[in-house]
Amino acid sequence: MVLDARKRKLLGIVFNLGFTKLLAFCSVTPKGNSFNKYSSKLPESPREKFIYRGKHFISEEKNRLAWETFQRKNFFGCGKKFHNHKKIISYHRNTSSTHFHNSIKINMKMSSTAAVALAIGLVLGAFSGHCSSALEVGFYRGKCGRAIDVEQIVARVVKEKFFKNRTIVAALIRMQFHDCFVNGCDASILLDGSSTEKTAPPNLSVRGYDVIDAAKTAVESECRGVVSCADIIAIATREAVFWGGGGRYEVQTGRRDGFVSQASDVDLPNPSMSVSDSVAAFARKGLNASDMVHLLGGHTVGVAHCNLFQDRLYNFKSTGKPDPDMESSLLERLRLICPENSEGTNATNLDQNPQSSFIVDNSFYKEIVAHRGVLQIDQELAGDPITQAMVKTLASDTNSFSAKFGQAMVKLGAVGVLTTEKQGEIRRSCRAINNLGDIISDFIAPPNGTVDGNFFTYTGFRVVGGGPPADFKILKASMAQFPALNGQSVSYAVIEFPSGTTNPPHTHPRSAELLFLAYGTLEVGFVDTKNNLFNQTLKAGDLFVFPKGLMHFQYNADSQKPALAISALGSANAGTVSIPSTLFTTGIGDNVLAISFKTDVATIQSSRLVLPPGHEK
């Protein structure tokens, strides 16, 4: 087909403005990675390079081969395959000029109308950034001003943290996995609270929150209210992987932060589960067996505590014997680290190659092939028919793991994302949801739920009033229990006090509390920032307000009669910081507490064993 000058000019504009960006977007979709894989193998020339990812180039003489190979690997044009393998589009750079001059050859039969349609489609691709995908590479480009690169700001923070502590690589990989695997990649793992995801047993050893806080602070100082904490997790993890020796993969961004974080929702794959059960768990998140194998390759860095694998050393599957699949020298070494009947708090590297324990590489796969896996699921990967071939390939191919791991992390990062204002927010602090009193919609509906009268109804208080309480009890109706409260800046609690019980000193960092005493009597009080105590004896029908963030308490001093109070709070997620629990159960050193309380370590240790009775809102 011969194109006239006008159409050639139009197509030239298309490729200058549109094709490169379209290629850049589609190259990060799951099947679009093919082009990067093939082009990255081609030698680069400093003068003559083929456009790749919108900013890098590959030598022109390899142009046609790379392009044809890419087409055969089902290049996606925003979800539509270009099946015609006879299309060969080549263009070259005139190295004597500062401009690109595109010569276009379309070796196929198509009308001039089709050519113009192709041109228009590519131009639209250029200006839309992406078509149907919710996330995109470079989402923040230009959103904070042309001179501000959000990803570079995060990168600087991670680099600084890495050179102070190399273990942040494993910490951030684990954080992203634990966040995404619960209710999607919504930064819910970052939220503080007495019953948030952070408090679930599998997450008690999650680290790296300080890295995310520092990155958020740095980003907010230059671009306030634009970048989500969920995206910061993804960017920071990519940077940590890079500094840990892994490949540098493209991160898709555009996530928003979630409103809900409940410890009860945390259901992570167990390190002792079978390969088939693990495959099923990953499949529920839209991840396949290959993704699972590559993501578990994150165990190339990090540690495991003895309680996660101690049964393999002494009583595997209740046999009274060690796991026969564990190499003998490793068994002896781990038994020294994890004595039988010990508490299981000691730890060992997941990658047992001491030369590679802090490096993101394929050493982990080599170790499990040699029967030197620490966790049961890791070792079973090497022998199960579902995964055995993949593991052997990764163990023998030094170069492929980095790319495969990066692709799996990108896919993990797209699980359950929130992308609209109704679904999520841009948090000001990664540790707390914003005050959503100024939401611009009537209410915040769940992403995939049905909204009817039941959504706005909470029945958890029906048990109240069934007789005198036997134990101190708090029934909550906060955002975690009652999702319809999202954005409504209100929550509720019913507190039942048997005689002689107390709600120990605590604070609500995000809300004041208005307490109504339904029956009985209560001694209540709070302490202000000048250490003044304001206390009162309440009788049935009285109200008392505890100002936001100040330490307060309630105590039923009556030795005969119970009391019942109802508290209203000005936040859907007021948060609770229990003073006794904070001091004695969070790992603050005995010496620190002994000096602070002007007592001895023995007294502190005995205090840890006998905490005041009661619970907090």
Binding positions: 179, 182, 184, 186, 188, 197, 269, 299-300, 351, 361, 503, 506, 508, 513, 552
Task: Determine contact, residues 579/526, Cβ cutoff 8 Å.
Answer: no
**307 beta partners:** none
Alpha-carbon gap, residue 372 to 352, rounded angstroms: 7
d(CA 298, CA 402): 10
Nearest to 513 by CA among 543, 546, 490, 489: 546
How far apart CA 490 and CA 514 sit, in angstroms, is 11
Comparing CA positions, the residue from 410, 364, 360 lying closest to residue 390 is 364
The DSSP bridge partners found for residue 356 are none
Annotated binding site for heme b: 299
Catalytic residue among 85, 101, 130, 178: 178
Catalytic (active site) residue 294: no
**131 CB-near residues (< 8 Å, 6+ apart):** 78, 79, 125
Tokens 């990519």 sit on residue:
238
* CA 200 – CA 176 distance, rounded (Å): 16
Instruction: Please state, in angstroms and rounded to a whole number, the distance separating the CA atoms of residues 8 and 102.
Output: 10
Write out the two tokens for 260: 């809900």
| H helix or E strand, kind and range, residue 35 | helix 33-39
Question: Is beta strand 563-569 parallel, antiparallel or unpaired with respect to 491-497?
Answer: antiparallel
Q: Are 574 and 508 in contact (CB under 8 A)?
A: yes
Name the token pair of 345: 């708090």
User: Burial level of 138, CB count in 10 A (0-12/13-18/19+)?
Assistant: buried
Q: How many angstroms separate the CA atoms of 477 and 456, rounded?
A: 12
Catalytic residues: 178
